[in-house]
Amino acid sequence: QKFNLMKEVSDSLAGHSLILDQGYFCDSGLLSFLLGVSIENLNDSPFKGQIWETLVFAELRKINYTAKTPVNFWFYRDQTAREIDFVVEKGGVISLAECKWTENPQPSDIKTIRSIDTELRKREGPYRAGEHYLICNSAGTYPLSPGIEVVSLDRLNTNWD
């Protein structure tokens, strides 16, 4: 399978969602080739963020396929254009995950996670807020803010299995 559609989370998460599909290539190498991106020009490419998100999506699918208890995951976009790359739900607990092509994440990288987390914690409903993640090409895993952890791609499987 070369392409996958991921549904948007229902409006019960934060009350503002639109009904959309988000398309992802399942192979970041094929996507890079089609975009003319190579290892030599990746850092200068305007597509590096999308390629990174595609790679993370492929890893999440792989982890989910082999997990003892698979998770549900979607993307989120509301009417004010706030987006979360991945909303991960397991047992009624929602974790938000953003993908950023950076080795040095900044607090500004988690602004949307904080905003939606605040709304999620205020709402009555079937979901409760869990830990949230900034997935980037940093070394290792560490807290960036209370309840929000920086996770490198090689440590991703330890957070959802």
pLDDT for residue 75: 83
Residue 25, strand partner residues: 3
Q: How far apart are CA 58 and CA 72, in angstroms?
A: 14
pLDDT for residue 22: 61
pLDDT bin (cut points 50, 70, 90) of residue 95 is very high
pLDDT bin (cut points 50, 70, 90) of residue 23 is low
Phi, psi of 160 (to 5 degrees): -120, 0
Q: How far apart are CA 19 and CA 26, in angstroms?
A: 22
More confident residue, 61 or 16: 61
Q: How far is CA 115 from CA 14, 15, 43, 60, 142, in A?
A: 10, 13, 29, 24, 21
More confident residue, 12 or 78: 78
- Prediction pTM value: 0.81
Non-local (6+) Cβ contacts of 84 within 8 A are 75, 76, 77, 96, 97, 98, 112, 113, 116
pLDDT for residue 115: 93
